[in-house]
Amino acid sequence: AQSVTQLGSHVSVSEGALVLLRCNYSSSVPPYLFWYVQYPNQGLQLLLKYTSAATLVKGINGFEAEFKKSETSFHLTKPSAHMSDAAEYFCAVSGVTTDSWGKLQFGAGTQVVVTP
């Protein structure tokens, strides 16, 4: 069975400061990992994904995440927060076989507030 834990349901960050959102997973084999973002009144948008290639993954809007197998982590970072980064962020995991990757399991989400 797989599961995802996001530390911190709410994060407040100053504009220009580092954004760090934590995600830890539990899986018997290295899974596929994803970060999604939901802006107000919009659907979930894929930020980036890890699918067993490079461990450092770059996504859209300046975000990146690093897969660390030893720590079972997939933390999301952005060097400098912008006001437009205010949104809810979700970490998700899926299996890596054709019969298991259709079922995403999500963390509880982290609401990011950016202050001027």
Q: Which residues bind another protein (CB under 8 A)?
A: 32, 36, 41-46, 49, 51, 90, 92, 94, 96, 98, 101-109
Q: Kindly state the smallest distance separating residue 52's Cβ from another protein, in Å.
A: 11
The residues that bridge with 87 in the sheet, in sequence order, are: 112
Residue 62 vs 109, nearer CB to another protein: 109
Residue 28 vs 41, nearer CB to another protein: 41
Smallest CA-to-CA distance from 51 within 28, 30, 78, 37 is with 30
Residue 26 vs 80, nearer CB to another protein: 26
Q: Kindly state the smallest distance separating residue 57's Cβ from another protein, in Å.
A: 13
* Cβ partners under 8 Å of residue 17, min gap 6: 80, 81
Residue 17 vs 105, nearer CB to another protein: 105
Backbone conformation region of residue 17, classed left if phi is above 0, alpha if psi is from -120 to 50, else beta? beta
Burial of 67 (0-12, 13-18, 19+ CB in 10 A): buried
Q: Kindly state the smallest distance separating residue 42's Cβ from another protein, in Å.
A: 6
